[in-house]
Structure 1
Amino acid sequence: MSDLSTTPTRSAPFRVAALQMVSTPERERNLEDAARLIAEAASDGAQLVLLPEYFCFMGFKETDKLAVRETYGDGPIQRFLAEAARRHGLWVIGGTLPLAVSEPSADRERVLNTSLVFDPQGREVARYDKIHLFNFEKGDESFDEARTIRPGGEVRTFDAPFGRVGLSVCYDLRFPELYRRMGDVAMIVVPSAFTYTTGRAHWEMLLRARAVENQCYVLAAAQGCTHENGRRTWGHSMLVDPWGEIVAERADEGPGVVAGDIERRRIEEVRRSLPAWRHRVLA
């Protein structure tokens, strides 16, 4: 018989954690680092953890990810996420991993950049394929994700014990219409690998803007430091509340855990005092 006193309720505080990483070109080493951070967050009481974009692999070349892509439904990365959720009895949102495109006629040289969500029993409950693909040119920095990634096309959410959670990835953060299409959510997650240049300029303001616009929490897990491939990412993983206040943030570069509580009463308080969500005219 289950102990009902330990079952989370919709009104009780729900602890979440963003895991900041510095991923490498070695998949197994990244999974070991992720396992350590998940265990650290779980020991601190986290009931949901979010890994960053590319948590499992960041190669020397964009095409390197093709070598570790997995078929949807099975593979070492997917098994790792399911087992971590089951072992610690928490929700795991697996940042992103490269999945093979399933259609026979699809590009053979591109993958889907996919977030998978596993419940505390290790069951996959949601999938989101990144829609907006990053393209940036400034000085020596040059990125074009469309060369190796096929965009997704569907908005995705899932139901957690404290409410609905909206799924997005990194560059999606710049497109507020995506979040409006999620409907009424209690939290948005943003696993990311923002560059140092764009992160320093826009990361915090965009996260806080999405929280204020949607009057919900925003949990953002980032890559953060100089990677073995020479790329430098911004870090500053954080949790933002519905008023745009930063609940918790990692100010340092490097791996670590950022944790805080989701409180339904805070969402209700903000929406009651400034009912912008209810006043929407254009949907």
Structure 2
Amino acid sequence: MSELRTTLVQADLRWEEIDTNCQLLDEWLQDITASDLIVLPEMFATGFTMAPERMAETMEESRAVAWMQRTAESRDAVVTGSVAIRENGHHFNRLIWARPDGSMVTYDKRHLFRMGEENDHYAAGNQRCIVELNGFRILLTVCYDLRFPVWLRNVDNDYDLLLCVANWPSARRQPWRTLLQARAIENLCYVIGVNRVGDDPRGLNYSGDSMLIDYRGEALIDEAPWRAFARTGVINRPGLEDFRDKFPAHMDADRFNLVVD
């Protein structure tokens, strides 16, 4: 296929209320009738909690993961977003890629936000993850990952779409918007960034600024900051391939080997 219909869900999350957030997401998705991919914010079930000892669940127990699987099946669409997961004595901020057939792919957030003490409560992942949907190769990332271009480098056009789910405070909304556009331009790819709105008990406010950006850095979806919404946009492969053919900057990119501890 040459098109991908993608729904960005900019949600106002309820703090550490897993069941409530899943119910609210059901309501926000009511008017979405046709989508291939539904993208939720980082830690959509709890907010950016630093209490995984209390809030994290195993993959088998997770109410949020089970809701994602049910939603993917009922809507015949991939559902993705991150949740707090407990596994083998560690906690992970894990992005779930839930397919309609019940199968899943996972990516554990590599760059943990030390200014929010995330590195004191969660273990870092060490593997990049690229999935495929409708002929698009998609790099999965979470929030703070966006600041690290080496981790996201699109060597030889390995991917076509960079997806980033976030809880990115409004105090840093300009860097969020700028980095999303920069990653699209430098990697010759589409970019989806989905952030939350509202406030959390730590005194942080979130403006959303969720965006769908093309390979030139131009926004295809960029609206309704500060409030919840669900919007669907369509991206296509022919436009991307034509641009890469006419502007093959990837052929002049520096070569390197990424060493992961």
TM-score, reference length from structure 1: 0.84
Secondary structure of the equivalent of 1:260? strand
CA distance in 2, matches of 1:259, 1:57: 24
Structure 2 residues not aligned, in runs of 5+: 257-261
> Is 1:53–2:33 an aligned residue pair?
no
> Is 1:188–2:188 an aligned residue pair?
no
Secondary structure of the equivalent of 2:146? helix
Deviation at 1:258, TM superposition (A): 2.8
Q: 1:181 to 1:112 in 2, by over 3 A?
A: farther
Residue equivalent to 1:278: 251
Contact 1:237/1:258 (8 A) holds in 2: no
Q: 1:250 to 1:225 in 2, by over 3 A?
A: farther
Contact 1:51/1:191 (8 A) holds in 2: yes
Structure 1 residues not aligned, in runs of 5+: 1-8, 137-142
Deviation at 1:261, TM superposition (A): 0.8
CA distance in 2, matches of 1:172, 1:274: 26
Deviation at 1:53, TM superposition (A): 0.3
CA distance in 2, matches of 1:73, 1:155: 23
Deviation at 1:68, TM superposition (A): 2.5
Secondary structure of the equivalent of 2:252? coil
Residue equivalent to 1:127: 106
Deviation at 1:74, TM superposition (A): 3.9
Residue equivalent to 1:90: 77
Count of equivalent residues: 254
Contact 1:30/1:55 (8 A) holds in 2: yes
> Is 1:257–2:230 an aligned residue pair?
yes
CA distance in 1, matches of 2:114, 2:201: 21
TM-score, reference length from structure 2: 0.91
Deviation at 1:277, TM superposition (A): 1.7
Contact 2:207/2:227 (8 A) holds in 1: no
> Is 1:36–2:10 an aligned residue pair?
no
Residue equivalent to 2:4: 14
Structure 1 counterpart of 2:13, one-letter code: S
Deviation at 1:46, TM superposition (A): 1.7
Contact 1:20/1:221 (8 A) holds in 2: yes
CA distance in 1, matches of 2:154, 2:239: 22
Deviation at 1:187, TM superposition (A): 0.7
Deviation at 1:264, TM superposition (A): 0.2
Q: 2:55 aligns with which of 42, 46, 68?
A: 68
CA distance in 1, matches of 2:125, 2:87: 10
Q: 1:147 aligns with which of 95, 120, 133?
A: 120
Let me know the Cα RMSD of the aligned residues: 1.8
- Deviations 1:34-76 (CA, angstroms, capped at 9, x unpaired): 22233433x1x221111000100027x622x332312124421
CA distance in 1, matches of 2:27, 2:176: 26
CA distance in 2, matches of 1:79, 1:171: 26
CA distance in 2, matches of 1:181, 1:273: 17
Contact 1:92/1:117 (8 A) holds in 2: yes
> Is 1:244–2:217 an aligned residue pair?
yes
Contact 2:196/2:206 (8 A) holds in 1: yes
Residue equivalent to 1:209: 182
Deviation at 1:181, TM superposition (A): 6.1
Deviation at 1:265, TM superposition (A): 1.2
Larger radius of gyration: 1
Contact 2:50/2:117 (8 A) holds in 1: no
Contact 2:108/2:124 (8 A) holds in 1: yes
Q: 1:230 aligns with which of 198, 203, 216?
A: 203
In percent, how many aligned pairs have the same letter? 26
Secondary structure of the equivalent of 1:202? helix
CA distance in 1, matches of 2:137, 2:225: 30
